[in-house]
Structure 1
Amino acid sequence: MSSAIEVTDTQSPWWRGAVIYQVYPRSLMDANGDGVGDIRGIINKLDYIASLGVDAIWVSPFFKSPMKDFGYDISDYRDVDPLFGSLADLDELIAEAHDRNVKVMIDQVLSHTSDQHAWFEESRASRDNPKADWYVWADAKPDGTAPNNWISIFGGCGWEWEPRRGQYYLHNFLKSQPDLNFHNPDVQTQILAEVEFWLQRGVDGLRLDAINFCFHDKQLRDNPAKPVAERQGRGFSEDNPYAFQYHYYNNTQPENLAFLERLRALIDRYPGVVTLGEISSEDSLATMAEYTANNKRLHMAYSFELLVPELCAQHIRSTVENLEASLGEGWPCWSLSNHDVVRVMSRWGGGYNPTLGKTLHALVASLRGSVCYYQGEELGLTEADIAFEDLQDPYGITFWPNFKGRDGCRTPMPWQSNGEHGGFSAVKPWLPVPDAHCELAVDLQEQDAHSMLNFYRRFMQWRKSQPALTGGDIRFADAPEGCLLFERAAHAGGECLWVAFNLTDGPVDVVLPMPLSLVEGHGLQGAEVQGECLRLPAFGGAFLR
């Protein structure tokens, strides 16, 4: 049995099938010697990034911020925080990246601001000022408790009391991140103006953080309780009370669709610019399909569906098939790691495993869609074990020791195996560089033809020559447990590729659907075709036609 997924593709903009490299500015490279990465550090490493064969970089927030959530709490949407540099540095980054044929996407955090943003400082001052309704304010219940039972992702009540107004304000994240009131048309108009500021500076795309959190239920209805058996959160700790509710009312409201269409109308005035939305809802796959429907909302969306704790071939297949079945003209984007979750080498590999790591690189880049790679993933970096006294993430500090937060995936890039702090900085960095990461440093891997880094480079260059992988349809076929087998077929009678992966720790024989021959040039090794059977080594993969 096989299942077919076919989507008509009448255009091929740059972002379809693109490889996007996520840069976490604090941790890529420190150019000014203060222990924190910066925009100048990104500029200095653009040659390295371009050598990876990626199409774009996504730069996590660099805006002015008190850094309570490391830039995802913005106090000025239109300026660069001095910690990272200046607007002139950002303009130079865009120009230098474009000179290397690398696009620049930036994070836009639209659902909330910092409590130090001028808008909130005005809004909190009284109930009758011009921005009084720019944030989500509500009266206390008669007994003084919060307006409803909504919970913050970072733990505890999602409401904070503000004595100056005698009301509560909503914060889906930290209490220093008040939620904007998108039911107010003036807020929507202002946010679109903030976005356009960056479009006019020449960015090529927007990664939209928590984009399904812009609207809340105007009736402030309580979220229903979730049974214990279903309290399995993606992207947050399972002992977090956030997992105790169905989040039907504090996010993913129907009004958001009209706002996304307003946003898209703005974006379409800047040809070539793409939107990539981060989705985390009760049914993220359905929301992704809805948010990319009819080519009038987001261009692409991604979720936490493949950022799960355990490696499971069946989960990967069912996730892709379920999304594709409802996606229509929408376009997916896949990732295995980012700045919010344990690194994939630790989650799925149990530690550094270059054989598995190479296969995972090839796997995620062989699914239909675009792909985001997180900095250091090309080196096979594992999750760093950060001592409590070195923790920076408020999420981890709150839930220690059961959940150590996100610092373990945010440690600085190791550039030099024998360099001070891995060559990242001349001074003590904001997070320590583990010794184990220095053993995987860029300078060592560049000298090893068989390293994960050099495999990554070879594979990404080879992938560019395979139209079936960058834009074709996908069709899964049955395979042994722990394995994936699917066909990628280019459009209009173009070439087809069959793709097979063994995600188990032993060799596996896969019965092929037809006579096929191995395709070379991608860097995966060890597969053999014997008649109608493909033999895959442990954690191996193959491409055939």
Structure 2
Amino acid sequence: MTTALATKPGNANDKDWWRGAVIYQIYPRSYQDSNGDGIGDLLGIVQRLPYIASLGVDAIWISPFFMSPMKDFGYDVSDYCDVDPMFGSLADFDAVIETAHSLGVKVMIDLVLSHTSDQHPWFAESRANKINDKANWYVWADPKPDGTAPNNWLSIFGGSGWQWDARREQYYMHNFLVSQPDLNFHEPAVQEALLDVGRFWLNRGVDGFRLDTINFYMHDEQLRDNPALPPERRNANTAPAVNPYNHQEHLYDKNHPKNVEFLRRLRAVMEPFGAAAVGEVGDSQRGLEILGEYTRGDDLMQMCYAFEFLAADIPTADRIVEVMEEVDTVAGEGWACWAFSNHDVVRHATRWNLAPGAQRMFTTLIMCLRGSVCIYQGEELGLPEAEVAFEDLQDPYGIEFWPEFKGRDGCRTPMVWTPNSQNGGFSDAKPWLPVASEHLPLAVSAQEDEPGALLHHYRKAIAFRRAHSALSQGSHDKLRAKGDVIYFTRTDGEQTIFCAFNVSETPSDFDLPDGNWIPIGAELGSAHVSADGRLHLGPWQVCLALKTDI
């Protein structure tokens, strides 16, 4: 298999490289196994970086590879400044940096700052007694007089957000697993320690961070109860519908107003390095509002993403317009980073039951929206969600809520590189999760040899975005919907591009705005425009046109 590398302009000294960037998320356990233990690793990423560069992306985001007992697969960190042996070594990480940079690809890593593993030395010291140097590094609270938890806060992984600890005869807070105690950001020493973590990796050459659960860092010091959330306001964007977490309005266990003060300190640490961050905002009611709050101005985070396009229902034309209008209203001075799939949700090819034409349309759409873009490994192949038998499940979230919620393993199965081996070229050993048989025909090598494959459409869409500054960095006018068609224009300087998308299986006729327009994007299936400005959009078809003065 030969892979041609995309040519990319140099931007090593461009502090705004993130604006409009396309970021490729790697779940390292499942990308490429280099040592035959059935688990992906850092040298496996090195091996596959030429392929990633061939997509034309600006950066990679690597999910956690730090020391961890792996109760939550790396999102429970026991040492922020070392690599877990299952993924390799710090020297292997240096090889990732060196290879990526040689290919013109920046490297972002996943920082999990809101909590640690209960096996982190900080927590071992903190839980020992109430008078040690780290006694206040985690969120500890006395029980109510009747011995029950301090308040009604819940865990995203089910049950109370508090766990009793016999050593201190107090409860500690955990927004996630019991084995993931929350750090106390009201303690200045905690903030300093976490900023030092950022400095460690920046000095090692990383170009930025993905910040896990960025709005969970701080809690209400008065430990006030969260109010109930009326049923009509509940949705399942942040937690599955069967989780009682959705029954509360999370006013006090996250989204603390002082969180922005820490984010400013983190931005100040990043600034000399030209590094950028994208924050994950987990909130089903105020996600876009918080996105705007955390990315406003030039002293906070550069980008955040919320869960609007990670939701279960396929976005209709009206819904897409509604989301983008809300962004303009509450986050117009900020910067969104859009994603349709990631390591926490059902793959969007399955979640939205997309036919091949629809997959292409949504790929083109996300590359035309104002903001930056994250794509998740395997979505460029059109991988559907894998069915994982209960006995093969690894995810504690899925095990807890099975079968109503099957967890996250179905989107985390190994990447498929070749169709002619049981494990798809991922590993010579039994993989940590089984390779889905239905994924094998969609493997990279099979698609490389098929000119009409989705993989090539991703390359073309990314290249098209890169070639037009109006799409990567420009402004947009008001998005509108006409039936199942959404349309808008993107503008940067003298370049204006008209974009229309038929978000349905039903053909639609449409008129271009007044002006002189040249059809572009034929390689993306853009519709033909008649001489009188009329166009016919077939099912899931797009129209892209460049405004001229002629």
Residue 73 (structure 1) aligns with: 76
The code of the aligned residue for 1:293 comes to R
Q: Is contact 2:24-2:60 (8 Å) kept?
A: yes
User: What amino acid is aligned across from residue 382 of structure 1 in structure 2?
Assistant: P
| Selected match of 1:170 from 168, 173, 181 | 173
Q: Does the alignment pair 1:488 with 2:504?
A: no
Q: 1:13-42 CA deviation, whole Å, 9 max, x = no partner?
A: 111111000000011111111111000100
Q: Which moved more, 1:455-464 or 1:74-83?
A: 455-464
Tell me the distance in 2 between the aligned counterparts of 1:310 and 1:366: 21
CA contact (8 A) 2:76 2:117 kept: yes
Provide the residue aligned with 2:539 in structure 1: 538
After superposition, give the CA deviation of every residue in 1:391-442 in whole Å (9 maximum; x if it has no partner). Answer: 1100000000000000111110111011231111111101111111001111
**Could you tell me how far apart the structure 1 residues matched to 2:234 and 2:397 are?**
19
CA–CA separation in structure 2 for the residues paired with 1:356 and 1:293? 33
Partner of 2:409: 407
For structure 1, the 5+ residue unaligned runs are 1-10
The CA deviation at 1:477 is 4.7
Partner residue of 1:456 out of 442, 458, 469 = 458
Alignment pair present for 1:207 and 2:207 = no
User: Residues 22-41 of structure 1: matches in 2 within 5 Å?
Assistant: 22-41=25-44
**Structure 2 CA distance for partners of 1:164 and 1:522, relative to 1, 3 Å:** farther
Equivalences, count: 530
Q: Which amino acid aligns with 1:473?
A: S
Aligned to 2:7: none
Residue of structure 1 equivalent to 2:507? 507
Cα distance change on mapping 1:459 and 1:379 into 2, 3 Å: same
Q: Which amino acid aligns with 1:335?
A: A
Provide the residue aligned with 1:433 in structure 2. 435
Contact 1:524 1:542 in 2 (8 A): no
Give the superposition deviation at 1:385.
Answer: 1.0
Q: Is the 2:60–2:105 Cα contact (8 Å) retained in structure 1?
A: yes
Superimposed CA distance per residue, residues 88-140 of structure 1 (whole angstroms, 9 cap, x where no aligned partner): 00011000000000000000010100000000011111111111110000011
CA distance in 2, matches of 1:236, 1:448: 38
* SS at 2:163 equivalent: strand
Q: Distance in 1 between matches of 2:238 and 2:133?
A: 37
Root-mean-square deviation (Å):
1.3
Q: Distance in 1 between matches of 2:474 and 2:452?
A: 29
Asked if the contact 1:235/1:341 (under 8 Å) is kept, the reply is no
Residue number in structure 2 paired with 1:324: 328
Q: Is the 8 A contact 2:418 2:440 kept in 1?
A: yes
Correspondence list, 1:354-369, <5 A: 354-369=356-371
Q: Give the TM-score normalised by structure 1.
A: 0.95
Percent of aligned pairs sharing the same letter: 54
Aligned amino acid, residue 478 of structure 2: F
Letter in 2 for 1:540: Q
Contact in 2 for aligned 1:527/1:536 (Cα 8 Å): yes
* CA shift digits 1:265-306 (9 cap, x unpaired): 111122x21011111123011111111122111111111111
1:134-153 pair list within 5 angstroms: 134-153=137-156
Stretches of structure 2 that go unaligned for 5 or more consecutive residues are: 1-13
CA distance in structure 1 between the aligned counterparts of 2:521 and 2:527, rounded to whole angstroms: 13
Deviation at 1:478, TM superposition (A): 3.3
Q: CA separation in 2, counterparts of 1:478 and 1:102? A: 35
In structure 2, the residue matched to 1:248 is: 251
The code of the aligned residue for 2:321 comes to R
Matching residue of 2:480: 478
Correspondence 1:5-404 to 2 at 5 A = 13-270=16-273, 272-281=274-283, 282-311=285-314, 312-348=316-352, 350=353, 353-404=355-406
Task: Assess, with a 3 A threshold, how the Cα gap between structure 1 residues 355 and 12 changes in structure 2: closer, same or farther.
Answer: farther
Q: Over residues 441-476 of structure 1, what are the superposed CA-to-partner deviations in whole Å (9 max), with x where a residue is unaligned?
A: 111100111100011112212221101101111113
> Which residue does 1:498 correspond to in 2?
498
The AA in structure 2 aligned to 1:532 is: G
CA distance in 1, matches of 2:454, 2:376: 14
Secondary structure at the counterpart of residue 476 of structure 2: strand
Give the SS at the match of 2:87: coil
State the distance in 2 between where 1:240 and 1:310 align. 18
Q: Aligned-pair distance for 1:516?
A: 5.2
Q: Structure 1 pair 526/468, CA: closer, same or farther in 2 (3 Å)?
A: closer
SS in 2 for 1:57: strand
**Other-structure match for 2:8:** none
- Structure-2 change in CA distance of 1:477 and 1:63 (3 Å): closer
Distance 1:141 1:189, change over 3 A: same
Residues 152, 242 of structure 1: 8 Å contact kept: yes
| Deviation at residue 527 of structure 1 after TM alignment | 1.7
**SS in structure 1 of the partner of residue 478 of structure 2:** strand
Aligned equivalents of 1:432 and 1:474: distance in 2?
43
Cα distance between partner residues in 1 of 2:106 and 2:432: 28
The one-letter code matched in structure 1 to 2:323 is T
Task: Work out the CA distance in 2 between the residues paired with 1:251 and 1:169.
Answer: 15
Taking the aligned partners of 1:117 and 1:412, their CA distance within structure 2 comes to 28
Distance 1:24 1:518 in 2: 41
Q: Does the 8 A contact of 2:526 with 2:544 survive in 1?
A: no
State the AA in 2 paired with 1:489: T
Deviations 1:333-369 (A, max 9, x none): 1111100001110111x15x22111111110110011
Q: How far apart are the structure 1 equivalents of 2:320 and 2:73? A: 31
Indicate how the Cα distance of structure 1 residues 392 and 516 shifts in structure 2: closer, same or farther if over 3 A, else same.
farther
Tell me the secondary structure at the aligned position of residue 160 of structure 1. Answer: strand
Q: What amino acid sits opposite 1:339 in the alignment?
A: H
Q: More deviation in 381-390 or 230-239? A: 230-239
Contact 1:396 1:404 in 2 (8 A): yes
What is the one-letter code of the residue matched to 1:418?
A: N
Whichever residue aligns with residue 231 of structure 2, its letter is V
Paired residues of 1:43 and 1:96 also in contact (CA < 8 A): yes
Of 60-69 and 254-263, the range deviating more from structure 2: 254-263
Query: Partners in 2 of 1:185 and 1:482 — Cα distance?
Result: 52
